[in-house]
Amino acid sequence: MINNFTLYSLTVLIWGTTWYVIKFQLGVVEPDVSVAYRFLLASVIMLVYCLVRNLKLRFSVFEHVFFLVQGFFLFCLNYILFYLAAVELTTGLIAVVFSGMLIFNTFNSALVFKTPITGSILLAALMGMTGITLIFLPELKSLSLTDKTLFALALSVAGTYSASVGNMVSIRNQRRQLPVLQANAWGMLYGALFTCVFAWMNGSAFVFDFRPAYIISLVYLSIFGSVIAFWCYLTLLGRIGAGNAAYATVLFPIVALLISTVFEGYQWSLLVFIGVLVSIAGNIIVLRKA
C-alpha cells in the first residue's frame, strides 16, 4: 500500500507541473474540446487497464448515478468554469481563488459527513490562503473590478465549489467501498461526455492538433495529470479527510513557480519568499495532523 506522504507528494508534483504543460494545449484546439479529449483518453486508459487486470467494472445503476455526479462536478463543470474565468483573470488570481478549496472542503465535510472542524485545520487553511495571496499580491493589486472581472471571479468561486462537491461525492463512494480507480474511470468518461455536449453547444469545433507538442502534452495530462494524480488525490481524500487533502491545492502554484523559474525566467521577490514559507508552515501543520 502506498503511504500518505507519497500520495501527497505525487499529487502536488504532478499537478504543479500541469500548469506549465497546459500551455502546449492552447492554440488550434478550443480549451473545452481539449478538456474533453483529456478525460476521454484518461477514462479509456483506465477502463482498458481494468479489463486487462480483470477488475470489477459492473456496478448498479444507483452507483452509476454517483459516478455521473462525480464526473459532472469534478471532471467537467469546474474545468469549464475556470476556463471561462481565465478569459478575464490571471493564472495567479485563479490560484488564489482555488486555494479556497481548503475552506469549502472543510465545511462541506463537516456538513455532509459530520467531520469535526479543528483549530489546527482552520489555522493551516488560513496560513495556506495567506501564503498564496502574498505570492500573487502584485496581480491582485493590478486587478480592475469591472463587471466582467467580478463575473469571472464568481465563476472561479463556483468552479472551486464544484470541485469540492466532487470531492464529497468521491468520499461518499469510498465509504461505500467503491474502488477509486473504477469510480474515476466511469466518472471521467461521464465528465468527458458532459464536456463534449457543452463544447458542441458552445460552437467549439472538434478538431485535433497533430503537432508533437500538443500530442505529448495531451498524453501527459491524461496519464499523469488525470489517471495518476486524481487517483492519488482522491485516495488521500478518503484516508486523511477533505480539508487536509485539499491543502495540496496550496502547493500546486508553488511547484508551478519553481518550474516557471527554470523554464520562463520567473523572478522571485521578498513577498513570494514569505508567501512560500507561510504556505509550507501551514503544510507542515496539515501533514503532522494527517
Q: How far apart are CA 191 and CA 73, in angstroms?
A: 8
Q: How far apart are CA 203 and CA 150, in angstroms?
A: 25
Q: How far apart are CA 182 and CA 9, in angstroms?
A: 22
Per-residue pLDDT of 204-245, as tens digits, reads: 999 999 999 999 999 999 999 999 999 999 999 988 888 778
Cβ pair 40, 186 in contact under 8 A: no
Q: Count CB atoms within 10 A of the CB of residue 213.
A: 13
Per-residue pLDDT of 61-108, as tens digits, reads: 999 999 999 999 999 999 899 888 877 777 667 777 787 888 888 889
Question: N- to C-terminal Cα distance for the chain?
Answer: 17
Cβ pair 231, 181 in contact under 8 A: yes
Q: How far apart are CA 92 and CA 132, in angstroms?
A: 9
Query: Of 6-20, 173-187, 253-267, where does mean pLDDT reach its minimum?
Result: 253-267
C-alpha dist (Å) from residue 260 to 14, 95, 129, 253, 254: 14, 15, 21, 10, 10
Whether 143 has a pLDDT exceeding 70, the answer reads no
Q: Count CB atoms within 10 A of the CB of residue 72.
A: 21
- Among candidates 210, 163, 157, which has minimal Cα distance to 29? 210
DSSP class per residue in 10-38: HHHHHHHHHHHHGGGG-SSS-HHHHHHHH
Q: Which three cell numbers stand for residue 268?
A: 522571485
The domain of 208 spans 4-289
- Among candidates 146, 169, 147, which has minimal Cα distance to 237? 169
Q: Count CB atoms within 10 A of the CB of residue 24.
A: 18
pLDDT at residue 212, as a whole number:
95
Query: Of 56-60, 139-143, 198-202, where does mean pLDDT reach its minimum?
Result: 139-143
How many independent structural domains does the chain possess?
1
Could you tell me the pTM of the whole model?
A: 0.87
pLDDT at residue 287, as a whole number:
66
pLDDT at residue 290, as a whole number:
56
